[in-house]
Amino acid sequence: MTTLNELAREHCRPLRGSEHLLDSAQADSLLTCLPDWHVSEAGLLQKNFRFASYAATLLFVNTVAGLAERENHHPDLVVGYGRVTVSYSTHDVGGLSRNDFTCAAKIEALLRI
């Protein structure tokens, strides 16, 4: 079984085509190392984050944006005062890929520093 730290050390790679699409068993297995993340009814890997201030919220958003640029894998972000919803999906494979879980693990690792 993959751990959070192992997943966070991986890097995203360019993926195209449905052969990279994770099935529900693979996604469920990777979810076990991502606290409070879930797969939505729309098939997105998601987590809601809460912050004490708007400044902390924006710091988190900017940090996630930097990570997304480094990995060339970009989430959808819904931002409000003190809250952010992060949603991942790999459009080029038509659903969830390992890249989505890798980036989620990188966010979790950042929060543990």
Average pLDDT, integer, range 51-72: 97
Has residue 113 got a pLDDT over 70? no
**Separation of CA 13 from chain center:** 14
Q: What is the pLDDT of residue 11?
A: 96
Whether the predicted pLDDT of 79 surpasses 80: yes
Domains of the chain, with CATH numbers?
Answer: 4-111 (3.30.1360.20)
Q: Single out the residue of 17, 78, 11 nearest to residue 44, CA to CA.
A: 78
State the Cα–Cα distance between residues 78 and 6, nearest whole angstrom.
Answer: 27
pLDDT at res. 1: 78
The pLDDT > 90 percentage for the chain reads 95
Mean pLDDT of the chain: 95
